[in-house]
Amino acid sequence: MKEGDELLWLTIAAAIILISLYFFYSTKKVKQEVGQGEKKKELSHPDFKQIQALAKKIQPNLERKLIVNGHFAEEKERKVTTLTHFSYILIGDKQAQTIQVLSYHPETKEVGEIGKFTLQQVELSTPTEVQAMYSFTDRSNNVTYVETLAVENAGDYAGQISFDQSVMFSAFREWVEEAHKETKA
């Protein structure tokens, strides 16, 4: 090989590396922009605004908090089978490492606080990409179950507030999963 050929191959290799880095950066930037657009769309959804307004009745400071809408249906069989629906708002505080659980009535807009739980008091069972079931155990061993869905669930209960919350759902679930991994390590 000639001395000039080595320089040519070095220049070609450098060009390939630079082009690869540019495409990697561009792809990453586009993904971030798409994610930010989805988050902005989700946070401006009228049903999310409604959930946020309900949460502010109990927790006025929602800045830098993860907010997820959830539900749970309880079926009891006595002489007649009854199905009771519960609606919840989960407020995750990454800084304090706590989750505040609020219950609300979708039609009357009444809001109550179930409690504030440390991440050690929270169990996450069989999470998937679109569904996660949380159980919150208080100091008296009372358990509150909350199912969260990433996508709109139009069907269970006509009055329930349901909307696509995939960005917040994923961020919330990943935060809880990561915290549980850290405590087990």
What is the DSSP annotation of 13-72?
A: HHHHHHHHHHHHHHHHHHHHHHHHHHHHHHHT-HHHHHHHHHHHTT----TT-EEEEEEE
Where is pLDDT greater, at 68 or 37?
A: 68
Q: What is the mean pLDDT of residues 33-37?
A: 60
Contact (CB, 8 A) for 165 and 68: yes
Specify the range with the lowest mean pLDDT, choosing from 15-24, 54-63, 107-116, 140-149: 15-24
Alpha carbon dihedral 30, 32, 36, 39, in 10-degree steps, equals 120
CATH classification of 45-184, choosing from 3.30.70, 2.40.50, 2.30.29, 1.20.272?
2.30.29
pLDDT digits (tens, 9 = 90+) for 94-147: 999 999 999 998 888 889 999 999 999 999 987 888 889 999 998 898 888 888
Rounded-to-integer distance, Cα 125 and Cα 120, Å = 14
Q: Domain residue spans in the chain?
A: 1-44, 45-184
- Quote the Cα angle for 156-161-162, to 5°: 70
Specify the range with the lowest mean pLDDT, choosing from 14-18, 28-32, 120-124: 28-32
Q: Are strands 131-137 and 66-77 parallel, antiparallel or unpaired?
A: unpaired
User: Hey, is 4 helix, strand or coil?
Assistant: helix
0.75 exceeded by pTM: no
Phi, psi of 110 (to 5 degrees): -75, 140
